[in-house]
């Protein structure tokens, strides 16, 4: 019998997990992705802050696919999906499928604010992380030549919007640059001119974690010199002035937007199958509602059958991995005419680092803060990286950063010239 053909769109956490589980099964698989590498997104902020190079968190997809006989990879940008004809249209041609899995992840959500979209920095991909790193270093170089206090303060004002893990970790990393890199590399600049602001609309940062962890993370940030603004909304950004909800203005040229994400997927999904946050509505086995052979996983999928998650599961890697693992089993059951199993998310905990010796860690009811949580954060992230070389490169860089108190990569190889 002819093996069914499964197309997976996206080589993120869900896509990679599916490849591992599909190894050797009687299913023909084609993986489509616009990049030829997998990105370990939780460490993107370290690329932006110069702690790691892009090769440390990127892993070639062909290195995974090349040793699996039933799986092929095509570097292609998917343009649209025809769910009636079972066709995926890409920039390199059309592909037909028996089953389709959409695992395209998420992009930054600016909530319709065009100025923020034009001027604010993003942190969802390696190119964006490299842009941010260049932007930070270029601001330092610019500040060296500025003499008027108003000018230099605007140049050295860095604002992070969003108090989730990405925002907290990014703010902490930039604060460490201020405390350790600026005095040594830019001795002409008084480091006190540099300000880091973290803006959060709710009453505490890391809202998904306990109040104890939120309070400790806030304390860590303040000890690093970060100004934390709670219950504060951002209204607009002109490129030089950030307007806040209370009418106040922060003069800055660097705003890092980490205040929201939304699902991203190709054209072809009916509007009645799209829910809040531009996520695709799926049932308990990740099948898109109204379709029999198309599935969605991870950030792009909204599964609401569990009472604990009426607005869908958290947009984090563990959800994507667990959904992918179960979907492979359910696909085998569907092909063989057997009963499928409903997804149930097993939350192993949350963590965030706020710099050297500073982290918060929650798992199975255990709450830790400080150096023990920091060591646990480092160990788990090392183990989650794909590939031994990536783990080794990250470990060596972290060891150097720890011993030298420096960020290893401080060169501008691709100057940032704006989004347009």
* Catalytic, out of 17, 122, 139, 169: 169
Q: d(Cα 293, Cα 334) in Å, to the nearest integer? A: 10
Contact 35, 75 (CB under 8 A): yes
List of long-range contacts for 330-338, beta carbons under 8 Å, 24+ apart = 330/285, 330/286, 331/6, 331/27, 331/99, 332/25, 335/4, 335/27
Helix 317-335 / helix 13-22 crossing angle, nearest 10 deg: 40
Identify the helix (H) or strand (E) that includes residue 318: helix 317-335
Contact 359, 373 (CB under 8 A): yes
Active-site residue 169, yes or no? yes
List of long-range contacts for 312-319, beta carbons under 8 Å, 24+ apart = 312/275, 312/276, 312/277, 312/279, 313/345, 314/208, 315/106, 315/261, 317/13, 317/41, 317/42, 317/384, 318/345, 318/347, 318/348, 319/345
Give me the active site residues, please.
169
């Amino acid at each position: 019998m002819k093996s069914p053909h499964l197309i997976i769109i996206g080589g993120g956490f869900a896509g990679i997990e599916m490849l591992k589980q599909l190894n050797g099964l009687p299913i023909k698989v084609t993986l489509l992705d616009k990049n030829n590498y997998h990105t370990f997104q939780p460490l993107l902020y370290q690329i932006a802050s110069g702690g790691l190079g892009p090769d440390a968190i990127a892993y070639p997809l062909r290195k995974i696919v090349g040793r699996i006989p039933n799986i092929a990879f095509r570097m292609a940008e998917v343009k649209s999906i025809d769910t009636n004809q079972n066709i995926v249209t890409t920039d390199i041609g059309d592909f037909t499928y028996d089953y389709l899995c959409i695992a395209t992840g998420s992009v930054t959500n600016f909530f319709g604010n065009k100025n923020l979209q034009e001027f604010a920095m993003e942190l969802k991909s390696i190119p964006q992380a490299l842009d941010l790193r260049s932007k930070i270093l270029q601001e330092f170089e610019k500040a060296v030549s500025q003499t008027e206090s108003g000018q230099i303060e605007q140049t050295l004002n860095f604002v992070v919007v969003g108090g989730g893990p990405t925002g907290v970790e990014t703010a902490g990393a930039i604060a460490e640059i201020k405390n350790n890199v600026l005095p040594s590399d830019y001795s002409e600049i008084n480091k006190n001119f540099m300000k880091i602001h973290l803006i959060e609309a709710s009453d505490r940062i890391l809202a998904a974690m306990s109040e104890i962890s939120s309070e400790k993370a806030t304390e860590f940030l303040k000890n690093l010199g970060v100004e934390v603004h709670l219950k504060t909304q951002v209204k607009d950004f002109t490129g030089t002035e950030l307007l806040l909800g209370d009418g106040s203005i922060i003069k800055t040229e660097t705003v890092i937007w980490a205040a929201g994400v939304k699902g991203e997927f190709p054209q072809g999904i009916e509007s009645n199958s799209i829910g809040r946050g531009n996520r695709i509505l799926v049932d308990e086995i990740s099948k898109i509602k109204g379709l029999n052979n198309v599935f969605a996983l991870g950030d792009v999928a909204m599964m609401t059958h569990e009472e604990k998650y009426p607005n869908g599961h958290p947009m984090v890697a563990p959800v994507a991995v667990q959904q992918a693992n179960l979907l492979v089993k359910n696909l085998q059951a569907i092909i063989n005419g057997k009963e499928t199993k409903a997804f149930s998310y097993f939350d192993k905990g949350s963590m965030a680092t706020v710099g050297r010796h500073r982290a918060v860690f929650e798992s199975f009811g255990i709450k830790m803060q400080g150096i023990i949580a920091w060591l646990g954060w480092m160990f788990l992230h090392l183990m989650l990286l794909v590939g031994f070389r990536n783990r080794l490169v990250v470990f060596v860089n972290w060891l150097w950063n720890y011993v030298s108190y420096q960020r290893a990569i401080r060169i501008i190889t691709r100057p940032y010239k704006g989004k347009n």
